[in-house]
Chain A
């Protein structure tokens, strides 16, 4: 999944910490209900988690957000924000929570004083190759290869841990990496497995290496500001209810083509 730009993150953390110390304790649920609207921040350029479909937000995360807003009895405002600085923006109070294909990491919790919900999605890093290219079957096959990643993502982190990779090229967006893959400037692209699967369906000239996962499994979560951790009770209940009712499986089938 995607990660914060380290430098900007560090600078912003320094700038923002004084603010946090001065913030009064405010119950998140009460505040959101009073406002009558749940503001969810998301970089809506990451299908099938979230993307602008004909000018409107769509995707797995968007549906989860709708359920959370419904449980709170408020309207949903799905706010488009840039991935760069998304955690700082949450901290700065631009939104109430984030849903943006975000992997739960210790570092993010500490750096931005936020807390994550229970995992709502299990994922892992996959490998995309050109259709018909059978050179890469196992992780070790990436040795000596040129690998593309989206910048500052857990995909980049996973690729960096693979031994013997010839070069890692970092791209602003995955479609630019796929372009270089098709132009044979790359041998492989490392990114979230379900995202590769969805992207490959759109394009047709590259494909995920079936069954190959790079690095550790990852758990996605929904972060809120620490002082509004009470919101997570609602979020966690929504996720559990979705999973128990079978709705979750339907959503997964709809957006990822798998259960």
Chain B
């Protein structure tokens, strides 16, 4: 171990700055990813084969390839077709595109967990497919997907460290810069680890609370409607 408290204390404010960048990139990416994921989730249960096919192809492509490769393509290869994204834009695009694929699956599961009988009742009552989605299925699905969405946010928070390969000054990259500057590995990385924990712990706690609230064993009648 080469941990030195003096280095740890000296560089902690720098790491805090990196943590802000991590948080910012994650929030923006998950926000875009959730919007995209909602669309994807609805497309995935569409009755039109083409719509379903497009959504499935996208989901498989994104989930079946490493995020790191997606980032490299976005940043280094796209300029060859005239799209020259700055590092932060490329990083957020990659994370958001990735998040959309995973959130899409979360929404699909949420949509499919709403009872078939409700859909049939809504259709029998004269609602169109989209109206059924909008007024019957999604309001219930939203509550069901809140805990997995929170977990997705935690996963993205950690995955965002991959954009350090584009030299975006997020938490891990700042940590690496300090390692090089101080020629010391553990003092900065201890701070990096603590800051990731400080960000993820409240979120995992939130996810647990949300899970309890929708637990059918415990929920009070009417709470979910």
Contacts and interface: CB of A to CB of B under 8 A. Distances in A.
A82 interface: yes
Interface in A43-93: 43-47, 51-55, 80-82, 84-85, 88-89, 92-93
Given A8-B72, A46-B180, A89-B76, A175 B166 contact: no
Nearest to A89: B76
Interface of A: 8, 12, 15-16, 18-19, 43-47, 51-55, 80-82, 84-85, 88-89, 92-94, 173-176, 178-179, 182, 199, 202-203
Interface of B: 2, 14, 17, 72, 75-77, 79-81, 84, 87, 164-167, 169, 173-174, 176-185
Contacts of B173: 80
A186 to B, nearest CB: 14
Contact of B165 (A82, A174, A203): A82
A80 B79 contact: no
A176 B182 CA distance: 12
B180 A179 contact: no
A12 B2 CA distance: 38
A202 B17 contact: no
B72 A85 contact: yes
Given A16-B80, A55-B17, A199 B177 contact: no
Contact of B182 (A12, A85, A179, A202): A202
A202 B183 contact: yes
B183 A199 contact: yes
A18 B82 CA distance: 11
A52 B173 CA distance: 11
Contacts of A82: 164-167
Given A51-B180, A173-B179, A178-B183, A92 B79 contact: yes
B80 A80 contact: no
Nearest to A45: B180
Contact of B84 (A54, A93, A203): A93
Contacts of A173: 176, 179-180
Nearest to B166: A82
Contact of B185 (A81, A92, A179): A179
B186 to A, nearest CB: 8
Contacts of A43: 167
A197 B172 CA distance: 26
B76 A12 contact: yes
25 contacts: A12-B76, A12-B77, A15-B76, A19-B79, A44-B177, A45-B179, A52-B181, A80-B167, A80-B169, A82-B164, A82-B165, A82-B167, A84-B165, A85-B75, A85-B76, A88-B76, A89-B76, A92-B76, A173-B180, A174-B180, A174-B183, A175-B183, A175-B185, A178-B183, A179-B185
A92 B80 contact: yes
Nearest to A178: B183
A119 to B, nearest CB: 24
A179 B165 contact: no
A54 B14 contact: yes
A53 B176 CA distance: 12
Nearest to B79: A92
Given A80-B167, A92-B79, A45 B72 contact: no
B66 to A, nearest CB: 13
Contacts of A16: 76-77, 79-80
A174 B176 CA distance: 11
Contacts of A12: 76-77
Given A82-B165, A84-B165, A176-B185, A47 B180 contact: yes
